[in-house]
Every structure is written in C-alpha cells, then in structure tokens.
Structure 1
C-alpha cells in the first residue's frame, strides 16, 4: 500500500508537470488523488482544504509579500546601475574585470532584490553590451551572469529561507539569514576564481584604474542601497525587530530610497509595482498552501520513512547519505524550480539529516545552495533562460562555457555540506545559536 501511495503521488505529479499543468495545481491534484486512497471523497476534500488553509496561517509568512514588494521597488529604483558602478571599484582591476563586476553586482543586487531572475535581467542586461563591446565572448559573459545571479538567494534577506523556516517546523529565520552569508560569499568567490582563470586564458581586458574621486563617488552612491542589508540584519541581531517586522521596515526603507533619495520611482508608478507584487505573492502562497497538502499526504503514508529506510539500506555512513541527498537534489533541481522543490523535499530529507545529527539551519543552507545550481541548468532553469535572453545567446551555445562554473559550484556545495561551521559560525557568534 505504501509503495502504491508513493507511485500515485509522484507519478501523477510528474505526469501533470509533463502535460504543462501549473505546478501548484499539479501538487494539489496529485495530493488529493493520494489522499483518496485512504479517505472517502468528502473527507479527502475537507482534509486538503484544511491543510492548505492552516499552512498559510502563519505570521512569519507576512514577510514574503513585504520582501517581494521591497524587491520590486528596488528593481525599479535605479539600484542595479549604482551597484554595478560600485562593483567596478571592487573588482575592476582583476583579469577579465567586467566578469568579476558582473558577479559582485549579482551578489549585491540579488541579496537586495531577493530574486535570481531579477538580478540576471537587471545586472546581465546592463553588463552584456559592455562586455560585448570589450571583446568578451557572449557565451562566456552569459555563463558568468547565469551562475552568479543565484548568489543573492543565499545572502539575506531571502524569501527562500522564510519558506524553508515554515516547512521545516519553525527553524530560526535570523539564524538562516546569518548562516547564508559565508556560503553565499563562497559561492561568489568560487565563480570569480573560474572567471579569472578563463579571462586570463582568453586575455580579456582589465579596466583602467579609477581615480580616488571616482571611487569615493561610486561608493557613496551605493551605500544607501547596501544600507538595507545593514538595517535588516542589524535590527534582527540587535533584537530590535523580528524577521517578519524587518520585511515591513524594508518596504519603508526602499520607498524612501527609490522615491525620495534616488527619485527613480514616481508615486504614479507605485500602484503598478504593488499589483505586480500581489500577483507574485499569490503565486508563491498558492504554491505553499498546495505543498502543505502534499506534506500531509506524504506524512500520512509514511513516505519520508520509506525513503529514509531506502537510503539507510544503501549505507549508514553520514558522508555517503549526505552525498546521496545532494545528488538527488541536484537531479531534482534540473527538472523543478527552487520553491516547489524546497516545499516538497524538505519534509522528506530534513528528518533523515537530523537523524544523522545535522543542524536544521545547516541543512537549509545546504539545500538552498544545491537548488541554486538547479536554476542555472537546462531544461527548466529560470536563470538560464533569462541569462541567455538578456545576453542574446542561444542556450546550446552557453552549455559548454557553463561546465567549469557548474564544477566549481558543486565543489563549493561539498565544502558547505561537510564543514558545518561555515554555516553555523555567524549564528552562534551573533545570536548565541546552539
């Protein structure tokens, strides 16, 4: 019976995905069909409706619409160009300097906007013409942009961590935010190493040395934008406000920055920005609600225990088990976007990881890092499609340049997986996390 439930749940889910059914509906219908194996129709409808409603009844979820709104205001507020100019100050003297500027700008803009796709479009759309003019191979430039745009999903504030906190049973959002910093920086630096090696190999140019006045000007212009991260994280660490309250502070800060300070957003544009944010929020929350129904269906059928037993039958060595989990997640990331993958597979793999003695914050960062790689890979990688679009490069042309970046990302993932202190040191120092 258990294996029948497993086949019905995941079989119908992937069949619906293959037919092009929206993922929220694919999750919801496959969950309902699974529950029908154990309960009559009326009871099954009642259960899945209750689970969807109760899954959205969480104060911490208020952070998602606020952070989405703050990110959309930032996207329209002229932030990208100022951060690119600041990134030129930081990485402008390295071999293939524009590639390093692209990576650094994606790290900063992605963390502020909270969206890899927005980062790929805003930063990549600006950098691609500059790199083409300097003689960079467009496929190389696109590969740099595609693989670096997800770094902001690890560097807070990040909606991904809020979703993980909910689905994992209340893991500290503050600890997740702090835990993402070093892995996010490792991800960016590892990409810069590969970009630098390839740039030296192809003799890409180095930008001219900026004057002190230029450095000062570009730094001062970028500080207000980067101040959002300082305000959010500083407030959480200092106990001034919670992560949910910080999201509302972020909206106020970005409004003042974009409307009053930079004057890039007009008051007349705000209704459109708010409407876009509402639409994005509704998609995310529908996905979360549907996933709560699937989580209940899996738990009711003991599917997490089945998978745990199957993995432990292969090996009881924690190193091997974590490697298997990472391989499975990398494969899943190729076919599924980050949020649904996080919602579906966290309840399956988190109990296994915790049985091995793994901290839930560490596992959340590992899982996010892993799925960040997935959004850069074909056939459904959202960052891949956007990066190729703004770089005006066909997907088949960018696959080969992407390979060395994929390799170094996997190596960095292994580093984060097997060295928990990389993730846990900042939460322990600043929050006393145990």
Structure 2
C-alpha cells in the first residue's frame, strides 16, 4: 500500500464526513495489515506517543481553565478589564480583547477562552447595545491570541512533536500576542467611530480601579508565576501546569472562597472529555506519522519545497498558504501532528529558526478556528450567541485584517518572536 493510497484514504474518509480519528486510523491500520507488519505495532506506537512528559501538561491546563470557569474567576477578570478599558472607544469591545489576553494567561487554549469568557462577554455586550453577531466575532478573534501566549497547549504539543524547547516557544509568543491585542484594539476603536459603539460614561477613578484590581490580582499573577518559575529553573513547562492547578485551587478556596466539591467534580469531568478528544488524535496521528516517515513523505516534501525556493522567507510564505488551507479543514492539534513533521525539516534546512516557525505555524492554525468550513470556534460562537454562522462571518470580515496583519509581521520579521527568547537566553 503506497503513501499516496494512505493520503488518498485519509482525504476520502475526511470528505465523507468521518470523525478525524477514524479518517487517520483506518487507512493506517489497513497499511499495517496489507503490509504484513505485526499488528502489535499499532498499540506500541500509540502508547509510545502518549508516553510523553510534555503532553502531561495538556489535560492539566484544560483542568485549570475548567476550574476558573467553575470558581467564578472569569467574572472577576472581565469586571477588572471593564473598569480598565471600558471608556476606551469601543467600550466592551475593548474589554473583550483585554480580558481574553488575561484569561489566556491561565487557560492556554483558544476554545477554552471562547467557552469560558464567551458567554459573559456576549451577554454583556448585547445588554449594552452591541450586535450579537459582532460580539461573537470579536470574541473569536480575541481568543486566537491565547494559544501563543503562555501557557499554551498548542505550543506544548508543537514542542513535543518537533523537540523544540517549549520554554523558548512560550517566551517567543509573548510579544506577538501583545502586538495582536494592540492591533485588534485599534481595529475596534476604528469600528467604534464608524458605528458609534457604546462605551462607559466616564473614566474610572483610582479608587474604582483599585477596587476591581485587587480581586483580579491573584488571577493576573498566574502567567507571571509560570514564566518566572520556568526561567529561574524551578519547574519545567509540564510541572508549571501542576503548579498552576495548585495555585488556582488555593486562590479559589482561600482567596475567593468559591471552590466546592461540585466544582471539582464538574471540572474533572469536563477535563476528561476534552483531554480524551485531544490525546486520542495524538495517538492515532503517531501511527500515521510513522507510516509517512517509512514512505519518506517528509523527505519528498523537503526536496519539493527546496526546488520551489531556498529563500527562507519565500518558503515561509508557501507554508503559510498551505497551513491556511489545512486550517480550514483540520483542527489545530491534528494539523500540528500531521503537517508539522513534514514541513519542519525543509524549513530548518533552509535556515528558518525552529522557534520562529513554531509561532508562525500555531498562530496560522489558530486562524483556522475562524475559517469555514471546519472552524470549530465558529460553531461554538454560533451556539453561544444564538445567531447563524453566516452572520458571525459577516461581522468577522474587518477583524480578519489585524489577525492576518499579525501573521504577516510574524512571518516577515522573525525578531518579533525571537527577540525575547534570545535576550533571556543571553
């Protein structure tokens, strides 16, 4: 069974609407059976893929996001962001963007941001007179910042696949995330002037700012605690996930006093469901990736890409187009596991920094959450806002501009993502 048959089988299964896991697994199993390869290898490869210390951080950070939602920490984050930037042109639109950045410092996942803050943000914006479609579109656009700001589940998966330093990847995402937030806030301000969006009647006093800042401070300290601990060598990124759980449990139980046994059980249940969906794809993709390696698909891809050009920037542009197309059909985890092993080698050979490639890849794939036909965030937002996906897409159009501009800047100027890791490393 040739490599083209494997790829064709995956594409056909996917187009027929099969679940991604089955679309990956069935052609892979057929390859093993028809190739007279011991069937025990399937179980070995799947268990080996999951026997990864960095991957332990994935369910733990998902647990953190669920705990925050259950314990009411998201409301405190949103209230502080409202007090801080509610008067800026765009009002709650700006609050939406800022609160997503703050929340991402604890959750590490875009869909967690949408699910955690989305209902609060959309409800508050609708009550202030914002169009529900625009509220949903902005919630989705601001949520894609989360996966490149530490902690980041997609960057952890990318690092485990490519053996690139996860600490360097997490550091590299800080400046791009802040830059994207600034561009989104500028876009919201421009739209606010054009459409006369409502905003707070006055700027907050220092007393009001302090009143809302103090309850939010423990949550705001989470990314600071994580980054400082990793840089000082107190814990690895995986251990940082466990530290975050302990920290969230402490502030929920001792500071906010909102933690209950029901919250813990509900958070654990949701974590098991979400983690299972991610990790079964990781296991299935490991067999698919092993077959691609046997068939030398990465090497063929490397030779093809290097015939197109040996210029790093040109190759990055080609890969960006490829990733944008892939992101329209595959979720970010599946795309990372299937595509990254193929594109990483030729780009590294051409001189692209692996950390830079990681940030560009993950941010590019996050845009796939907002692009039809398989944009998972669009389905979730449609459910939260109770408006059609078409309405959300119409309102999303101007918001694609700052997101694509961020991707272009990240691609053309590597130092935007590499400056901070290099400075700290030196």
The TM-score with structure 2 as length reference comes to: 0.95
Distance in 1 between the 2:322 and 2:25 partners? Answer: 23
1:346 corresponding residue in structure 2: 340
2:181 corresponding residue in structure 1: 188
Task: Write out per-residue CA displacement over residues 223-271 of structure 1, whole angstroms, 9 at most, x where no aligned residue.
Answer: 1011111111110011111111111111111111222221222024322
Change (3 A) 1:372 1:84: same
2:308 corresponding residue in structure 1: 314
Distance in 1 between the 2:117 and 2:23 partners? Answer: 33
Task: Write out per-residue CA displacement over residues 2-32 of structure 1, whole angstroms, 9 at most, x where no aligned residue.
Answer: xx73422222112222333322232122223
Give 1:219 deviation, angstroms.
1.0
1:172 corresponding residue in structure 2: 165
On the 8 A contact 2:104/2:150 being kept in 1, the answer is no
Is 310-319 or 141-150 further displaced after alignment? 310-319
Give 1:385 deviation, angstroms.
1.6
2:11 corresponding residue in structure 1: 14
Say if 2:120 is the partner of 1:126: yes
Equivalent of 2:28 in 21, 31, 46: 31
Change (3 A) 1:276 1:140: closer
2:254 corresponding residue in structure 1: 260
On the 8 A contact 2:327/2:367 being kept in 1, the answer is yes
1:207 corresponding residue in structure 2: 200
Task: Write out per-residue CA displacement over residues 315-353 of structure 1, whole angstroms, 9 at most, x where no aligned residue.
Answer: 333222111100010011111111101111110111121
1:363 corresponding residue in structure 2: 357
Is 116-125 or 292-301 further displaced after alignment? 116-125
1:284 corresponding residue in structure 2: 278
Give 1:60 deviation, angstroms.
1.9
Distance in 2 between the 1:72 and 1:122 partners? Answer: 8
Equivalent of 2:218 in 210, 219, 224: 224
Task: Write out per-residue CA displacement over residues 162-201 of structure 1, whole angstroms, 9 at most, x where no aligned residue.
Answer: 1111110x21111111111111112222222211111110
Matches within 5 A, 1:97-108: 97-108=91-102
Matched residue of 1:67: which SS? helix
Give 1:89 deviation, angstroms.
3.2
Task: Write out per-residue CA displacement over residues 66-96 of structure 1, whole angstroms, 9 at most, x where no aligned residue.
Answer: 2222221112111111111121233222211
On the 8 A contact 1:81/1:126 being kept in 2, the answer is yes
Matches within 5 A, 1:36-115: 36=33, 39-40=35-36, 42-43=37-38, 45-115=39-109
Task: Write out per-residue CA displacement over residues 281-307 of structure 1, whole angstroms, 9 at most, x where no aligned residue.
Answer: 222222111111111111111111222
Q: Which residues of structure 1 form unaligned runs of 5+? A: none
Say if 2:124 is the partner of 1:151: no
Say if 2:245 is the partner of 1:251: yes
Task: Write out per-residue CA displacement over residues 375-423 of structure 1, whole angstroms, 9 at most, x where no aligned residue.
Answer: 0111211111222222222111122221222132112101111211111
Change (3 A) 1:132 1:70: closer
Give 1:35 deviation, angstroms.
4.3
Distance in 1 between the 2:264 and 2:132 partners? Answer: 35
Matches within 5 A, 1:296-335: 296-335=290-329
Matched residue of 1:375: which SS? helix
On the 8 A contact 1:237/1:431 being kept in 2, the answer is no
Is 306-315 or 172-181 further displaced after alignment? 306-315
Task: Write out per-residue CA displacement over residues 101-122 of structure 1, whole angstroms, 9 at most, x where no aligned residue.
Answer: 0011111112312232232133
Distance in 2 between the 1:425 and 1:364 partners? Answer: 14
Matched residue of 2:144: which SS? helix
Equivalent of 2:380 in 352, 365, 386: 386
Q: Which residues of structure 2 form unaligned runs of 5+? A: none
Matched residue of 2:351: which SS? coil
Distance in 2 between the 1:389 and 1:282 partners? Answer: 22
Instruction: Give me the CA root mean square deviation.
Output: 1.7
Say if 2:421 is the partner of 1:424: no
The TM-score with structure 1 as length reference comes to: 0.93
Give 1:220 deviation, angstroms.
1.0
On the 8 A contact 2:136/2:381 being kept in 1, the answer is yes
Say if 2:287 is the partner of 1:293: yes
